[in-house]
Amino acid sequence: MAIQFFFLLIIVTYGQEGMWLLSQLDQLDLNKKGLSIPVSNIYNKDNPALCNAVLELGGGTASFISPEGLIITNHHVAFAALQRSSTVSSDYLTNGFLATNRPDELKASGYTANMLMDMKDVTSEVTEAAKGVTDPVEKDKNINAKISAMTDALEKGKDDINARIVEMYNGKQYILFVYKVFKDVRIVYSPPLSIGNYGGEIDNWMWPRHTGDFSFMRVYVSPNGTGKEYSKDNIPYKPKIWLKVSNTPLKDGDFTFIVGYPGMTTRYRTSTSVNWNQEYNYPFAISNFIEIIDLMDELTKNDAAGKLKVASLEKSLANVMKNYEGKLEGMKKTNFLQKKINFEKDFLKWANSNPGTKIKYGDILEKEKEQYKLIASNRERDDILGIFQGLASTQLSIANAIYSVTKEMEKPESEKQPGFNDRMIQETIDGLQYSYDNYYEPADKALLVRALKMADTLPQDQRIHGLDYILNDKSKTIVQFVDEAFKTSRLSDVEYAKNLFKKSSTELAALNDPFINMEIGLYPVTEEMQKTSQTFSSNVTDIRKQYLDALYEWKGKTLYPDANSTIRFTSGQVKGYQPRNAVWYYPLTTLQGVVEKNTGTEPFNAPAGLVDLYKKKDFGKWMDPGLKDVPVAFLNQCDITGGNSGSPVMNAKGELVGVVFDGNYEALISDWQYDFNLQRAISVDIRYVLFVTEKFGKAGFILDEIGVPH
């Protein structure tokens, strides 16, 4: 039975719940729960600690595991880098990659790694900028301007420093995070897809799991230690601290903890937000992604090169789609919306129980409902506009970047978006080339045709009038328009596209490029949507902050903030779970399970060399003495979400025992609520990582580097 929402408002007896800020660790009694090292070994504001070995990488997490800049992360975190470097003749994605010496390590195009250097509370400094301001939109504007000024000052003249000030608790607190940025990341060893993605989308988010979801990469810097772009003169970074691999067998009941970069949770949202996502947001996204994936499959079924090009897009869409499906199923299965409504009835009963709280909080939930009317009025149009902004062809996305930056540059300084500066523009230009890495013209054409046809079905009051010149043109069909656009546009040339950032909006219009013309037509309605979204965001964030104030006042306990891509801590025991009646899932899987699932057909096509190692029982030192087999994956009760992929799992001594790669399907609603009985993190066991690396990959030198005997 799912726990009630109000249990989130206390520091629960179970240390498992919560993605805690590092500054909150002293509140958690971790040594009483099983941690055998001082908390200061995990986070120390004055000295290097384990948290400084953990990196933000490619939308996921990684960690240093050697003094020579070697890092470990997930295969699926390294997926895009492998795909970008692959061709049909050198398919590193399918066949894996191994660099037997450092000059052969493969450039991870488009990847940067961020290492935490400092964090501190700057709430008073930030909120001072909005003192006396009552309008939420104006308040947001002042705060964002202050944040930009503070971070710009820290970054000025430092190309490898990234400063971010992030709000917690919807603006009750602001924390400054300062990172060292590594712009040269290279692939050292990645197993073949048949290990790294064993089970594919069938097993994704499921348990039992038998996936070797890991890759080794290396971080490089210039000879003077600066995080510079890829260069043959760069040298491996030498971290002050790196994780040591455990030599103690992991077992059921062991205390473990995770430090990583979880993306986003929504645990303090109201029933209004739940209803919006359950009824509109998730269903639309699921159907949209299903259609695109099916389209890509159909277009590339007889085209190996095309399949490789769309692989990264398909994988990311399929992953999010299944995640949303799990959330939606979990909401309905647990009657989550009604639970929220019931909780809010109790809240309102408390709020209305005395005049003071009634004035402050009595109408707060109704105020939030009113704000949702802002985004509901053009929901159908805005859903389609969202597709045009990223899933309607590479060239249109490039045109969007060019024209949006140009229009922003032409605005008066006071009207520009906070954070819009030369550095941001240059990063946009530098990142263009990665958009082309996945370019496959048949897919791009099909995506644009699909988006235009969807726009053509919008009701009259939701029409995107900037596209009327296409949709109302009786002289040519949508397909004909798209064919002509691809023939005449020069935006398939990355260098040409980069040079367009130097032009004015008038000069861009004069080019008469079909994709830029489309963007010119879309820009006014996109601006309108963004302004509405900003108003909604500012107003609803202010209301949610008041709601959190009310929860504090009502329950009087400590809260952990929702995840927001900042570094967090979570802990829990290795433990199985009961997904349904009469079924119990054990917390560890083994190589035997890999072989049992093997059909020889993707995605259960275990490599012959791996199967042979099992048949010969050639396990080396990686056999678990209790299991009499090589452990593959394990479950623990740590509290994670997207972004934690690649996070290190450590034991009570702070030693590396695994790498997080997934959560369990039954608990995908966990972004909204934690369930002690069901929620589990799924990780690849470090022993399987080392077994595959040494025995299958013939890369024992990696084990030597990380100090592991074999």
Which residues are catalytic, by number? 76, 213, 645
Cα distance from N-terminal residue to C-terminal residue, the chain: 45
Alpha helices for 43-91 (secondary structure H): 75-85
Locate 147 and state its tokens: 């944040």
| DSSP characters over 342-397 | HHHHHHHHHHTTSHHHHHHHTTHHHHHHHHHHHHHTTHHHHHHHHHHTTSS-HHHH
Alpha carbon of 286 to those of 283, 290, 622: distances in Å? 5, 6, 41
Please state, in angstroms and rounded to a whole number, the distance separating the CA atoms of residues 402 and 394.
12
| Contact criterion met (CB below 8 Å) for 92 and 190 | yes
| Helix/strand/coil percent split, the chain, to 5 | 50, 15, 35
Closest CA to 589 of 198, 85, 259, 167: 198
Three-state secondary-structure class, residue 575: coil
Please state, in angstroms and rounded to a whole number, the distance separating the CA atoms of residues 131 and 123.
12
Alpha carbon of 545 to those of 169, 302, 309, 548, 562: distances in Å? 7, 53, 43, 5, 12
- Determine which helix (DSSP H) or strand (DSSP E) holds 235, and give its type and residue range: strand 235-236
| DSSP characters over 310-342 | HHHHHHHHHHHHHHHHHHHHHHHHTTHHHHHHH
Contacts of 399 (CB under 8 A, 6+ apart): 491, 513, 515, 516, 518, 519
Please state, in angstroms and rounded to a whole number, the distance separating the CA atoms of residues 658 and 650.
7
Locate 660 and state its tokens: 């997080």
Alpha carbon of 483 to those of 232, 246, 310, 448, 469: distances in Å? 42, 58, 20, 10, 16
The residue behind tokens 């949006």 is 404
Alpha carbon of 255 to those of 329, 573, 657, 682: distances in Å? 31, 5, 11, 15
How many Cβ atoms are within 10 Å of 704's Cβ, its own excluded?
A: 13
